[in-house]
Amino acid sequence: MQRYAWLAVLLLASLLIGARVYAQASAAAPDDAFATAVTGLAADNFPDKAAAVTALIELKHPGGRAVLAALLDGKLYFRNADQQVFITDGGETSLALTDPLTQKSVGSGTPDDYTRITTNNSLRKTLRSAVASFALTDPDPGVRLDAVREMLRSLDDDSVALLRSRLEQEKDAGVRKAMQEGLALADLDSSEADTRLAAVDALEDSLSPDVYNRLTAMVTAAEDGSFPEADERVRTRAREVISAIDASRQVYATLETLFFGLSLGSVLVLAAIGLAITFGVMGVINMAHGELMMLGAYTTYVVQQAMPNHIGLSIFISIPLAFLVSACVGMLIERGVVRFLYGRPLETLLATFGVSLILQQVVRDLFSANNRPVETPEWMAGSLQINEALSITYNRLYVILFMVVVFVILQMVLQKTSLGLKVRAVAQNRNMARAMGVRTQWVDAMTFGLGSGIAGVAGVALSQLTNVGPNLGQQYIIDSFMVVVFGGVGNLWGTLIGGMSLGVVNKVLEPWAGAVLAKILVLVALILFIQRRPRGLFPQKGRAAES
């Protein structure tokens, strides 16, 4: 009995001492413990390394995650001379070194002086779940969501246990949902039919392809007629869930097509709207319109070259500048060529075509025949992930917004300003307007300048979507003519609706017929449409239509 008492005292004492030592170590110098553990990683056998890893996980030191991730990626090295451990970039010719404790760069070294710290399978497994668990406690919900998604890709008992334990503490709804989805997927492997049924129920709203594939696999019969899922109730429920998922995916696919169509339509409207003004108001076919867009795109390029460090800002400078450049060139064309040809639309067409050839060659001589690289500002890159079935790229979204802004401004100019009043007057009845004292020549020049300037602004948008080269204008000129003719001449709303519907029809046909055939079909349909309604969707009425 006394022996036991002694043992108990000894145990107590050692525990107390141990706790004191531990408390000192963690309170006074957590960095020391961290450093010790990190150095431990450089051990030459796996059990010691594993111990060091475990120590690192338990320390929960802020630098731990980076060290463990580097070890997992094979980017953790130690210096041969003094066994000091560094996080590196894994470079082959030289290693960029980062101190694990301070996370600061400490120069670089040659790979010969360093040895990579190797791992084995069981260690990697521990590391993976450790890294994931670090990520799951990250304050940023985005990082947590990524971590959950990463874990869903290869679920095992450890990660399921980890997810289950974190689910309670998770506050962010999105991350919770992803976690529940992962747990439900894991539950599908349960031996209890009721658990599986509940899991299938829980997956009803999920759009992730993993879930879809998993459920489909469950109800797909094997060659001998048996199903991977034994229970009939679960299979029936799974089929219902699959068709529900199918339906909602279909909805999102339609939405996406619609969105693609609207963004293509916006490009068409941007390209055509300047043309609609010159064509509608002046009855002038400006074949150089595409080249005025090209000038706008090149203006964007030049502005970016002038301010390479402010690409995001450069767009906002390019827009007014492109307007000015194209408007000036447009007015030059009007004063130099077009004004001599009023009343002879076919001749105007030919002369402006000549101008377009000259402009193309000017650009070729100034900037070479090769495409020029125009950078996309950061705020336009990437996409807006609405859910797993639908994401919207920002550049397409901004094109739609940009088109709306341009359209509204243009409508304001035409409806609310004195210039707009005169433009409309001349468009309705040139002679009467002149009799009322409107300087029609001046109005013509301004209208042409306005239409051309809009083309330049459209060019800025195009520079973000397509290659900027001397042929940029030619690619869009036929499309923009079709939009104007389809919508009806002299009607901006017609151009808007015409362009949007052409864009949507094109994109709806595309998955079914392929991009080129879709375009051909649209062209043929347009040719046939013009036969039915020669003046477009919204023809001008009254006397103006007769001219």
Partner 1 sequence: MKQGPLLNLLVGERGTAVFLVIVAIVGIVVPVLHLVPAEGSALQLSGYTMTLIGKYMTYALLAVAVDLVWGYCGILSLGHAAFFALGGYAMGMYLMRQIGTRGVYGDPVLPDFMVFLNYKELPWFWHGFDMFWFAMLMVAVVPGLLALLFGWLAFRSRVTGVYLSIITQALTYALMLAFFRNDMGFGGNNGMTDFKDILGFAINTPATRVALFVASAIALVLGYLACRYITLSRAGRVVQAIRDAESRTRFIGYRVESYKLWIFTFSAVLAGIAGALYVPQVGIINPSEFQPINSIEVVIWVAVGGRGVLYGAVAGAVIVNYAKTFFTAALPEFWLYALGLLFVVVTLFLPRGFVGLLDRFGKKPAAPPGNAKTVPA
Least CB distance from residue 340 to partner 1, whole Å? 6
Least CB distance from residue 344 to partner 1, whole Å? 6
Binding site for partner 1 (CB under 8 A): 283, 285, 337, 340-341, 343-351, 353-358, 360-361, 364-365, 474, 478, 481-482, 485, 516-517, 519-520, 523-524, 526-528, 530-532, 534, 547
Choose between 242 and 355: whose C-beta lies nearer to partner 1.
355
Choose between 94 and 547: whose C-beta lies nearer to partner 1.
547
Q: Is the dihedral angle over the CA atoms 104, 110, 115, 120 positive or is it negative?
A: positive
Least CB distance from residue 279 to partner 1, whole Å? 8
Choose between 96 and 513: whose C-beta lies nearer to partner 1.
513
325, two tokens = 């450049």
**CB-based burial, 166-192: b 16+ in 10 Å, e otherwise:** bbeebeeeebbebbbbbbbbbbbeeee
Choose between 359 and 496: whose C-beta lies nearer to partner 1.
359
- Calpha distance 9→265 (Å, rounded): 84
Choose between 195 and 475: whose C-beta lies nearer to partner 1.
475
- Calpha distance 289→308 (Å, rounded): 29
Choose between 123 and 530: whose C-beta lies nearer to partner 1.
530
47, two tokens = 């059990």
The total number of residues written for the chain in this structure = 547
Least CB distance from residue 335 to partner 1, whole Å? 13
Least CB distance from residue 356 to partner 1, whole Å? 7
The residue whose two tokens read 């039919």 is: 193
Q: Name 393's bridge partners.
A: 383
Least CB distance from residue 505 to partner 1, whole Å? 15
381, two tokens = 């890159």
- Whose CA is closest to 454, among 401, 389, 512, 405? 405
Least CB distance from residue 291 to partner 1, whole Å? 10
Q: Which residues contact 435 (CB under 8 A, 6 or more apart)?
A: none
Torsion from C-alpha of 58, 64, 70, 73, nearest 10 degrees: 40
Write the CA distances from 237 to 202, 222, 247, integer angstroms.
11, 19, 15
- Under a CB-based contact definition with an 8 Å cutoff, are residues 181 and 208 in contact? yes
| Helix axis angle, 209-219 to 173-187, nearest 10° | 20
- Under a CB-based contact definition with an 8 Å cutoff, are residues 300 and 546 in contact? no
- Calpha distance 132→69 (Å, rounded): 9
Choose between 304 and 495: whose C-beta lies nearer to partner 1.
495
Choose between 256 and 347: whose C-beta lies nearer to partner 1.
347
- Calpha distance 41→408 (Å, rounded): 64
- Under a CB-based contact definition with an 8 Å cutoff, are residues 87 and 66 in contact? yes
Choose between 425 and 525: whose C-beta lies nearer to partner 1.
525
Least CB distance from residue 354 to partner 1, whole Å? 2
Choose between 126 and 506: whose C-beta lies nearer to partner 1.
506
Least CB distance from residue 484 to partner 1, whole Å? 9
- Whose CA is closest to 498, among 515, 481, 512? 481
Burial class (CB in 10 A: 0-12, 13-18, 19+), 481: buried
Least CB distance from residue 285 to partner 1, whole Å? 5
Choose between 266 and 348: whose C-beta lies nearer to partner 1.
348
Least CB distance from residue 489 to partner 1, whole Å? 9
Report which DSSP code applies to 340. Answer: G
Angle at 267 between CA 445 and CA 472, to 5 degrees: 75
Least CB distance from residue 474 to partner 1, whole Å? 8
Choose between 5 and 528: whose C-beta lies nearer to partner 1.
528
